[in-house]
Chain A
Amino acid sequence: MTLLKSAKPALAEAAAGAGTAVGKAKAEPDAQLGRRTMWGPAFALPHGLGLAFFTLLPIVVSLVISLFNWPLLGTPKFLGFENYLRLFNDPIFGQVVRNTVLFVILYVPLNLVVSLGLAAWLTPRIKGRHIFRVIFFIPSITPVVANVVVWRMLYQPGGFIDGTLQSATGVSAPNFLGDEHWAMMAIVVMSVWQGFGYNMLVFSAALDAVPENLTEAAAIDGANAWTIFWRIKLKLISPSIFFGTMMTLITSFQVFAQPFILTKGGPGSATSTIVLYIYNQGFQFHQLGLASAAAWILFVIILGVTAVQFLGQRKWVHYDA
């Protein structure tokens, strides 16, 4: 306290003094600081360079490319915002964006409900919960391509679903991937199966971390299991749910592999998503400018949705346990 008191007038004096005096007083600690942190930037340099070269530079370049008609082979031509205008007026791109939004609306809640449900069920009282956890996590760590091959066998006419339904009821199942009304649903179901494992692990760990004294106290007060889960556990793991929702939202806007392998975006454009569109424009049709513009539109969409999430979280996420 005494130190602080004596320092204050000194600072006030210096501030009141002439300009040169201020300069001197400031330069000294700065020079000291500089010497001490020489190694700091040096250690940060490799990472900084990596960030600059492999993240910042490509981002800037893609923004520049999006303003050009940039074929893979041949000379680029400056277009200004024409690529963006073309995308906004393209009915196919409109449908592609609607498809992606539909996928997100169907997939994210389903994923959260399934992963949260299974995490809640896998309480420490369940025998062999570790084995179940591993089993539920397997789809997340196997390659999508392998999963898709299996799901194709389930979905195709004469496949497992159709075959089982026919032998049991005599009615044949719809041609899931070959019918435009079913294809998106089929992709959502397959994606949920593939993707819930990660969130389930996060939620399961968060549920385990809920202090037992709180749930015990509630039980003594007469709360049943459902009320404890709904009113106490769910509130306490809300930061994890927020994290899960956020990451799932972002990755689901980027859905690509499932439609790419299962349907190629068809029938028609029924399962074309934004990233599939970007891939086709960029690497199939060699229109790098148009692909970059579409990528920036996707970036803005994701940024917007994430910002809304962050604003909304204040209402339902509780960080103070």
Chain B
Amino acid sequence: MRKEALVAGALALGLVGLTGCGGSSSGSTSDGKTAMTWAMWVGGTEDQKNWEKVADEVSNTLGDVKITLQGSTFQDYFTKMSTQLSSNTAPCLVAVQSLRTAQLKDGMLPLDDLVKKNNLDLGAFDPSMIKGLSADNNLYALPYDVGPVMMFYNKDMFDAAGVPVPKAGWTSDEFVAAAKKLSTNGKHAIAPTTSDLFIESQIIAYNGGRVLKEDGTIDAGDSTFAQGLQWVSDLTNKEKVSPQLPGGDASFSSNEFLAGNTAMSIDGPWSLLDVKAKAKFKVGVTTLPAGQGGGKTFSAGSGWGISKQCATPDKAFAALKEMTGEKVLGELASAGRALAARTAQQAKWIDNAGIPGVAETLKTAEATAVPMPSNTNSDQLGQLFNQYLVKSINGQQNAADVMKDIAAQLPR
């Protein structure tokens, strides 16, 4: 029996040894270059090619590093990244969205010292993104794209209804008047959305109400926000310019818009070219309708940072600098992939978009945009929005009570 135990023990130790070898964040390739993995969300084959091109270009420019892309879908990315960061298997270069900076920051390296050491001019980037990718006064990532939330519209539907297309800076009264004319023959002006970024933008534009305060704290009981949510819900229940929500479907609003069932949809510049390519109608953009006390919008974007587990942070920063440099961001803008976080490169994206009014809308929206702060409970808030806003929008409960239910479930 003792022999068996020994054999079993030896095998078990061997297995532990095997699993212990897995996962290291950087190493060297056979030709002496520093190997580095770059975690990024990928939206499809086209997207994959874009990012692989960036990885290859930066590797070639630097000469002494080899960057490999580790792609996953946007939906899975943050779960995967949190797991990797917590289990010491995270890659060196990590993508992060401004809304989720606070969630990943514990596993990421503050970049401030490296920025100083390398004399990087942060002034060339959109200031709202530098703020958005910071937490506790530390910068955690260099931004590559930026975007104020805005309103996409179906120009053909506006023309058919004889409604003049909206101009940047339009008011919520003008919006409701136009929406009533657009809601005929089973079509609606706009479909409701429960996505945190979009509904919070819609409400801050309407009356300035917000659940995510400027300092990053959450106050789900904010009464101005509840009034804004009531107005949004009334678009469905009183004004009848919006359909009911069919359960928890995050892409309902954009799907209805693409299918030609609604005339408008709240979205960000990051999806404009994708929508333009898929839509069988002329797409236009304008600002979110502004009401009394509102007139603002949230901006969000993404960037790339370095994980704490990275063995070669200096080389990783050199790579980051190239990845968010004028050349790469200029190319991504020209390809229409990202509205560059470097303000000087944005014109290229606007030229490529080829949508009338996009420059004017962006100018107005950017002037009124405030960065969407991140909070460690942002994901929980987003999940509760998905579950509970349905009740307010479908008229089963008033907005203030729904927000009370949400507030009760958030950790205090």
Interface residues of A (CB under 8 A from B): 34, 38, 41-42, 45, 48-49, 52-53, 72-74, 92, 152, 155-159, 175-180, 183, 262-269, 272, 280, 283-286
Most chain A C-beta atoms within 10 Å of own C-beta, residue among B86, B107, B405? B86
Q: Is the CB of B405 within 8 A of A268?
A: yes
Q: Is the CB of B244 within 8 A of A178?
A: yes
Q: Offer 13 A-B interface pairs, CB within 8 angstroms, sorted by A.
A: A49-B12, A152-B246, A157-B243, A176-B247, A178-B246, A178-B247, A265-B248, A266-B390, A268-B387, A268-B390, A268-B391, A268-B397, A284-B379
| Nearest opposing residue in chain A for B386, CB measure | A264
In the assembly, what is the distance between CA of A75 and CA of B246, in Å? 40
Interface residues of B (CB under 8 A from A): 1, 3-4, 7-8, 11-12, 15, 79, 82-83, 85-86, 103-104, 106-107, 186, 243-249, 377, 379-380, 383, 386-388, 390-391, 394, 396-397, 405, 409
| Nearest opposing residue in chain A for B248, CB measure | A264
| Nearest opposing residue in chain B for A50, CB measure | B15
Q: For the complex of A and B, list the 9 residue pairs with the smallest distance between their C-beta atoms, beginning with the closest.
A: A264-B248, A177-B247, A156-B246, A266-B387, A267-B390, A73-B106, A264-B386, A263-B247, A72-B86
Q: Is the CB of B7 within 8 A of A42?
A: yes
| Nearest opposing residue in chain B for A266, CB measure | B387
In the assembly, what is the distance between CA of A158 and CA of B107, in Å? 46
In the assembly, what is the distance between CA of A48 and CA of B86, in Å? 29
Q: Which residues of B contact A155 (CB under 8 A)?
A: 246-247
Residue in contact with A38 in the complex, picked from B4, B104, B243, CB distance below 8 Å: B4
Q: Is the CB of A175 within 8 A of B83?
A: no
In the assembly, what is the distance between CA of A49 and CA of B13, in Å? 11
> Closest CB of chain A to B315's CB: distance in Å?
24
Most chain B C-beta atoms within 10 Å of own C-beta, residue among A41, A73, A177? A73
| Nearest opposing residue in chain A for B387, CB measure | A266
Q: Is the CB of B380 within 8 A of A45?
A: no
> Closest CB of chain B to A90's CB: distance in Å?
9
Q: Which residues of B contact A41 (CB under 8 A)?
A: 4, 7-8
- Per DSSP, are chain A's interface residues mostly helix, strand or loop, or mixed? loop
Q: Is the CB of A180 within 8 A of B391?
A: yes
Residue in contact with B383 in the complex, picked from A73, A175, A267, A284, CB distance below 8 Å: A284
Given contacts A49-B12, A267-B396, contact A175 B379 (CB under 8 A): no
Q: Which residues of B contact A267 (CB under 8 A)?
A: 247, 387-388, 390-391, 394, 396
Q: Which residues of B contact A183 (CB under 8 A)?
A: 247
Q: Is the CB of A178 within 8 A of B394?
A: yes
| Nearest opposing residue in chain A for B246, CB measure | A156
Q: Is the CB of B11 within 8 A of A266?
A: no
In the assembly, what is the distance between CA of A101 and CA of B297, in Å? 43
Residue in contact with B390 in the complex, picked from A49, A74, A158, A178, CB distance below 8 Å: A178
- Supply 8 further A-B pairs (C-beta < 8 A) apart from A178-B390, A266-B387, A272-B387: A41-B4, A52-B12, A157-B243, A176-B246, A178-B247, A262-B248, A264-B248, A266-B247
Q: Is the CB of B391 within 8 A of A264?
A: no
In the assembly, what is the distance between CA of A54 and CA of B394, in Å? 45
Q: Which residues of A contact B85 (CB under 8 A)?
A: 72-73
> Closest CB of chain A to B262's CB: distance in Å?
12
Given contacts A266-B248, A285-B380, contact A175 B387 (CB under 8 A): no
Given contacts A179-B394, A180-B391, contact A73 B86 (CB under 8 A): yes
| Nearest opposing residue in chain B for A40, CB measure | B4
Q: Which residues of B contact A262 (CB under 8 A)?
A: 247-248
In the assembly, what is the distance between CA of A53 and CA of B409, in Å? 36
Residue in contact with B386 in the complex, picked from A42, A175, A178, A266, CB distance below 8 Å: A266
In the assembly, what is the distance between CA of A198 and CA of B14, in Å? 41
Q: Which residues of B contact A263 (CB under 8 A)?
A: 247-248, 387
Given contacts A34-B1, A267-B396, contact A286 B11 (CB under 8 A): no
In the assembly, what is the distance between CA of A161 and CA of B4, in Å? 65
In the assembly, what is the distance between CA of A167 and CA of B397, in Å? 30
Given contacts A49-B12, A49-B15, A266-B386, contact A285 B379 (CB under 8 A): yes
Given contacts A179-B394, A268-B388, contact A280 B8 (CB under 8 A): no
In the assembly, what is the distance between CA of A311 and CA of B383, in Å? 41
Most chain A C-beta atoms within 10 Å of own C-beta, residue among B1, B12, B248, B249? B248
Given contacts A45-B8, A92-B409, A178-B394, contact A157 B387 (CB under 8 A): no
Q: Is the CB of B247 within 8 A of A73?
A: no
Q: Is the CB of B248 within 8 A of A45?
A: no
Given contacts A41-B8, A49-B11, A73-B86, contact A180 B386 (CB under 8 A): no
In the assembly, what is the distance between CA of A92 and CA of B384, in Å? 12
Q: Which residues of A contact B104 (CB under 8 A)?
A: 73
> Closest CB of chain A to B399's CB: distance in Å?
13
In the assembly, what is the distance between CA of A48 and CA of B7, in Å? 13
Q: Which residues of A contact B103 (CB under 8 A)?
A: 286
Given contacts A152-B249, A284-B379, A284-B383, contact A266 B388 (CB under 8 A): yes
> Closest CB of chain A to B403's CB: distance in Å?
12
Q: Is the CB of A175 within 8 A of B244?
A: yes
| Nearest opposing residue in chain A for B83, CB measure | A72
Most chain A C-beta atoms within 10 Å of own C-beta, residue among B3, B107, B245? B245
Q: Which residues of A contact B386 (CB under 8 A)?
A: 264, 266
| Nearest opposing residue in chain B for A183, CB measure | B247
Q: Which residues of A contact B86 (CB under 8 A)?
A: 72-73
> Closest CB of chain A to B17's CB: distance in Å?
13
Residue in contact with A286 in the complex, picked from B82, B245, B383, B387, CB distance below 8 Å: B82
